[in-house]
Amino acid sequence: MPPSWVSSFVYVDGHFRVVGGTYPFWSEGLTPYRGPMSLPPSTLRGMTVQGIAYRKDQTGGPIVGIVQLQIKVERDGHVSKIKVLSGDQEFIEDAKSYMKSAQFPTMPDIPQLANAERKWDFEVAFFKSKS
C-alpha cells in the first residue's frame, strides 16, 4: 500500500487547484541521503545522552552538557570521522563514544549516489538523571 499523500490546494477563479504536496511526517521515513534528525537516546555515566542534528540548545534546566560535532558517515552506515566543533570539555569523549556507536542506514547502491558524501553537524546533549 503506498503511503498517504498531503496535497496543497488554492481556490482561484472558482476552481480548486493543486499547488503541491508531500508525504506527511508520519509516513516519511528517514532515508540515507536525507539524514537523521535525531538518534535514539542512550545512558552514559548515569545521564541520558541524545544526538540531534542541527540543534542549538543551551545548558541549563535538565541539560548539563552539550558537545557540537561534525560527523562523516560511510556508505555502510558507520561513523568514520568525528570533528569536535565546540562543547563542554568534560563531555567530549563521551559524545564521541556515543556517536561512534551510532548506526546509520546504508546508502542505496544507485549511480546517482555513487559520489555522495554524508556529513552532518550534530549536537550531543547530556541530561541529568531524574533521581
- pLDDT per residue over 66-116, tens digit each? 999 999 988 888 999 999 999 889 999 999 999 998 888 888 888 887 788
* Dist CA 17 CA 82 (whole Å): 47
Residue 19 confidence (pLDDT): 66
Half-sphere exposure of 94 (CA within 13 A, CB side): 22
DSSP state of 112: G
Query: To the nearest whole percent, how much of the chain has pLDDT over 90?
Result: 20
Q: What average pLDDT does the chain have?
A: 76
CATH fold group of domain 33-127: TolA/TonB C-terminal domain (3.30.2420)
